[in-house]
Amino acid sequence: MDNNIKRIAVELSAGLGQVEATVKLLDEGATVPFISRYRKEVTGSLDEVAISQIRDRIEQLREMDKRRETILRTIDEQGKLTDELKKKIDAAETMAELEDLYLPYKPKRRTKAQVAREKGLEPLADIIFDEQNIDVEAEAAKFIDAEKGVEDIEQAMAGARDIIAEKINEDQESRQEIRELFEKQGVFTAKVIPGKEEEGQKYKDYFEWSEGVENAPSHRVLAMRRAEKEMIISLNCSPEEGDALFKLEDRFVHGSDQVRLAVRDAYKRLMKPSMETEVRLSSKKRADEEAINVFAENLRQLLLAAPLGQKSVLAIDPGFRTGCKVVCLDKQGKLLYNTAIFPNEPQKQTAKAGAEVAYLCDKYNIEAIAIGNGTASRETEAFVKSLGLPSKIQVIVVNESGASVYSASEVARNEFPDHDVTVRGAVSIGRRLTDPLAELVKIDPKSIGVGQYQHDVDQTSLKKGLDDVVISCVNAVGVEVNTASKELLTYVSGLGATIAGNIVNYRNENGPFKTRAELKKVPRLGPKAFEQAAGFLRIQDAKNPLDKSAVHPESYDIVAKMAADLGCSVDDLMKNDEKRGQIKLQNYVTDTVGLPTLTDIVNELAKPGRDPREQFEAFSFAEGIEHPEDLKIGMTLPGIVTNITNFGAFVDVGVHQDGLVHISELSDSFVDDPNKVVKVHQKVEVRVLEVDLNRNRIALSMKSEGSGPARSKKQKRQDRQERQEAREENTDNLSMEEKLKMLQSRFK
């Protein structure tokens, strides 16, 4: 069995057979959603998280194996590969260990040690290093050679020290010992660059800052690196020099002052810079992973927000001077009509705007009105609610983050080539009310406004992490193949952009799909793609009722046998609880289909194509609270969570500026992870702690009034810094257009 399989099984506490089967499926082209849903018998019911971990780890280990092969080949070509060295390289478990073993043989630019060797000083270095209780000067005198550039004893000893320093730096055990010291006892030390004090005020708490590498939270690591990148601070990362030198001297120095000098040179000139680079990269990687995890979890919650469902919607992108853009959408989200109204200042055409809205609601049988939460949102909401529209028409404020990004995108231009960005933005607001997932997949996740330091983390890892979330959400919900956009279909298991486009083209040319089997006629949608995708695609009006369910076509025969055994049709079996209760699952177990899959099938028959998202609940902000100036300390308000960071949550209370609930204010009890307390789009009740109109800052609390211990000055200082970083990050999530809107709202 592959050693990598064994290693992953140990690391993830999974069975060898589970890991081996999962890797085999992945290698055959199966997707994570498909494996977790339809191959439970093969993997022992591993979930998406475990399968994703196996996928990522096998990729890492295989990359390391490729590097191992390259290293072995390179050393062998040099004629220096011994059995002992090969054994060590084969046993290396980390990339750092591999590179340490390779370092002495790695082609490098001309070093001081190489120069010394060219002068014939390596024998002297060996003598000094191996036999430290000798007359060094007497030995060095033997190597004086003016023709080789060794003029005197000091030059000979200096060259020998250069060679010894390189040997010490390339000693694998020493590097590992110092690496562990950097990781466990390393300290980030930040200092402001002279003259940058005023420019870098937002980083002022890092002007004189030190913190252990091992325990530094991800957001502070990323904040310090950003400040360093902007050339506001200098940032170092190392343990106490004396601790490192003590370890190296204890290992190598046995009496010779020349070796002691070489050790110090090896550490300061060679090993310390190398280790600092490594630790900075490893701490950055850990910080990236944590930030990406925060972003991914927020994105998952946002994508799986409760949909209003198929309703006729009038959507409004509110505004003041340029008016409010209005669009009417049918139950499938098709644009029927668009116009502009001016109910707010400065035009204030309230009567005309009201008549227009009432007319449109009647003409298009509107069931809900969606209002963007940007500039003029509360004023527009108040205007609409004053019209006395039928009670059946819900008025709902919708988070419009990213709508402007979508409206200017190629996707929007292709979808609405004859309409400008304002119409496209209003359509996006309306559609994200009826089905947030279907609309938000059209927008780059980085523009949706739920990230933390997303511009600072590794962009490849970020994209992979976010794509995994989108794919997981899309396949968990399922996709109606006859109405889905190309963008939504792209994320379905086994498809991708090309096949998704082919599905849309086929649908346009031949009409709606009538069966899942018809998908096989789509160009490039071969047997493998069909296997991976079919279970996640729905056809609501299909003749076969199973085509609108999550039952995979490969299991249709099993369901037909169940129905036949009970003397009814498949349709009757799906509608009759009593009949389904008579199914004896053991009768249908085979070598390839076990109880987990059979249980899933019966559950799906009870609720075919069920949507895992929660039911939609309308929400309203407090009336009369529309601007930060309306807020008073101690006031209790309803709000919606819009973003979550490691140190708190942002909450929209309807005043055009999100307030921050710091992690210390999320609950009466201790909170180590905000995601354990709140979710994106969650409806919460908050209390106003502080309103700073000059800096447009709002501090909120979800704690009971008067609860919680007093915090120290240091804790309060850290809280302030984290609140500052969080506010800046929340602003960084906005597009330029959205930032301008925010500024216009602030200074109108």
Helical segments of 552-668, H only: 556-565, 570-575, 577-581, 595-606
In whole angstroms, give the CA distance from residue 250 to residue 242.
Answer: 12
Three-state SS string across 399-454, please? CCCCHHHHHCCHHHHHHCCCCCHHHHHHHHHHHHHHCHHHHHCCCCHHHCCCCCCC
What is each CA distance from 467 to 223, 250, 287, in whole angstroms? 25, 50, 19
Q: Give the CATH number, domain containing residue 8.
A: 1.10.10.650
CA–centroid distance for 548 within its chain: 32
Residues 118 and 90 in one domain: no
What whole-number distance in Å separates Cα of residue 596 and Cα of residue 583?
15
Residues 154 and 83 in one domain: no
pLDDT reported for residue 2: 85
Same domain, 227 and 330: no
Contact 651, 684 (CB under 8 A): yes
User: What is the total residue count of the chain?
Assistant: 748
Q: d(Cα 137, Cα 575) in Å, to the nearest integer?
A: 98
Q: Whole-angstrom Cα distance, residue 260 to residue 245?
A: 9
Q: Which residue has the tokens 């003016």?
A: 146
In contact, 538 and 609? CB cutoff 8 Å: yes
The verdict on residue 123 lying in a domain is: yes
Whether residue 377 sits in one domain with residue 271 = no
Q: Which residue has the tokens 């699952």?
A: 585
pLDDT at 719: 56
Same domain, 135 and 182: yes
Asked, as a colleague might, if the bond just before 123 is cis with ω within 30 of 0, I would say no
Give me the sheet containing 208-212, strands edge to edge. Answer: 208-212, 187-192, 233-238
Q: What is the pLDDT of residue 403?
A: 87
Which CATH number characterizes residue 145's domain? 1.10.3500.10
- CA–CA distance, 420 with 339 (Å, rounded to integer): 12
Residue 193 lies in a domain: yes
Please tell me the distance from the alpha carbon of residue 278 to that of residue 258, in angstroms, as a whole number. Answer: 28
Residues 153 and 243 in one domain: yes
- Domain end (from 411, 434, 457): 434
Take residue 559 and report the two structure tokens written for it.
Answer: 């369901």
* Residue 22 CA: distances (Å) to CA of 2, 663, 725: 13, 39, 41
Same domain, 68 and 204: no
Residue-number span of the structural domain to which 384 is assigned:
313-434
Does some domain include residue 329? yes
| Beta-bridge partners for 314 | 328, 369
Q: What is the DSSP letter of 270?
A: I
CATH of the domain at 368: 3.30.420.140
Of 105, 138, 154, the last residue of a domain is 105
Q: How far apart are CA 353 and CA 156, in angstroms?
A: 92
Q: Is 706 helix (H, G, I), strand (E, B) or coil?
A: coil
Rounded to whole angstroms, how far apart are CA atoms 488 and 13? 35
Asked if residues 330 and 336 have their Cβ atoms less than 8 Å apart, the reply is yes
Reduced to 3 states (helix: H, G, I; strand: E, B; else coil), residue 171 is coil
CATH number at 706 reads 2.40.50.140
Q: Is residue 230 part of a domain?
A: yes
Nearest one of 248, 266, 267 to 163, comparing CA atoms: 266
Question: The tokens of 432 are what?
Answer: 């994200």
CA distance 417 to 738: 23
Query: Would you say residue 368 lies in a domain?
Result: yes
DSSP code per residue over 329-391: E-TT--EEEEEEE--STTT--HHHHHHHHHHHHHHTT--EEEEESSTTHHHHHHHHHTT---T
- Position 689, amino acid: L
Asked if residue 155 and residue 279 are part of one domain, the reply reads yes
Tell me which of 366, 399, 434 is where a domain ends. Answer: 434
- Looking at the fold, whether 208 and 228 belong to one and the same domain comes out as yes
Q: Tell me which H or E stretch contains 183.
A: helix 172-185
Is the N-terminal amide bond of 445 cis, ω within 30° of 0? Answer: no
Who contacts 670 (Cβ-Cβ below 8 Å, separation ≥6)? none
Query: Side-chain half-sphere of 737: how many Cα atoms within 13 Å?
Result: 14
What is residue 658's three-state secondary structure? Answer: coil
Cα(664)–Cα(700) distance, integer angstroms: 11
Asked whether residue 608 is domain-assigned, the answer is no
Total domains present in the chain: 4
Are 661 and 651 a contacting pair, CB within 8 Å?
Answer: yes
If asked whether residues 73 and 191 sit together in one domain, one would say no
Contacts of 114 (CB under 8 A, 6+ apart): none
- CA-CA distance, 736 to 722, in Å (whole number)? 24
Whether residues 248 and 360 fall in one domain: no
- CA 733 to CA 446: how far, in whole Å? 7
Cβ pair 271, 169 in contact under 8 A: yes
Instruction: Name beta bridge partners: 683.
Output: 640
Let me know: does 341 contact 288? Beta carbons within 8 Å.
no
What angle is formed at CA 237 by the lines to CA 231 and CA 240, rounded to 5 degrees? Answer: 140
Cβ-based neighbours of 89, under 8 Å, separated by 6 or more: 68, 71, 72, 75, 98, 101, 102
* Cα gap 444→442, rounded to integer Å: 7
Q: How many CA atoms lie within 13 A of 498 on its CB side?
A: 6
Q: pLDDT averaged over consecutive 10-residue blocks of the chain (748 residues)? A: 90 95 96 97 95 96 96 96 96 94 91 96 95 90 94 96 97 96 96 94 92 92 94 96 96 94 97 96 94 91 93 96 96 96 95 97 97 92 94 93 89 94 95 95 84 83 92 96 95 96 96 96 97 96 94 96 95 93 93 92 92 89 91 94 90 92 94 91 94 90 72 53 55 46 41
Considering the domain architecture, whether residues 224 and 325 belong to the same structural domain is answered as no
**Assigned domain for 274 exists:** yes
In a domain, 519, yes or no: no
